């Protein structure tokens, strides 16, 4: 059998959205190499509900 790769799919969720009190949430799906980045990802992405760039963290 073939060995599974190091690349896994992760979900990034906005950290500032919950504090704003607006309904809904901003989530992005991306992939990461778990061998190179074993820690949780933290990337600035655009939040269409807040209409600005916000920090998105990896969730499980």
pTM: 0.81
Query: pLDDT band for position 27 (50/70/90)?
Result: very high
DSSP 3-state of 32:
strand
Please give the structure tokens belonging to residue 30.
């991306």
Distance CA 43, CA 39 (A): 13
Please give the structure tokens belonging to residue 43.
């990337």
Average pLDDT estimate for 32-54: 94
* Predicted pLDDT of residue 43: 95
Residues in the chain: 60
Per-residue pLDDT at 1 exceeds 80: no
* Predicted pLDDT of residue 21: 82
DSSP 3-state of 43:
strand
* Predicted pLDDT of residue 31: 95
Strand partners, 46: 53
Per-residue pLDDT at 33 exceeds 90: yes
């Amino acid at each position: 059998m073939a060995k599974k790769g190091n690349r896994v799919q992760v979900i990034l969720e906005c950290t500032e959205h919950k504090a704003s009190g607006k309904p809904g949430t901003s989530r992005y799906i991306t992939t990461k190499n778990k061998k190179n980045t074993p820690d949780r990802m933290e990337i600035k992405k655009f939040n269409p509900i807040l209409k600005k760039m916000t920090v998105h963290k990896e969730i499980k």
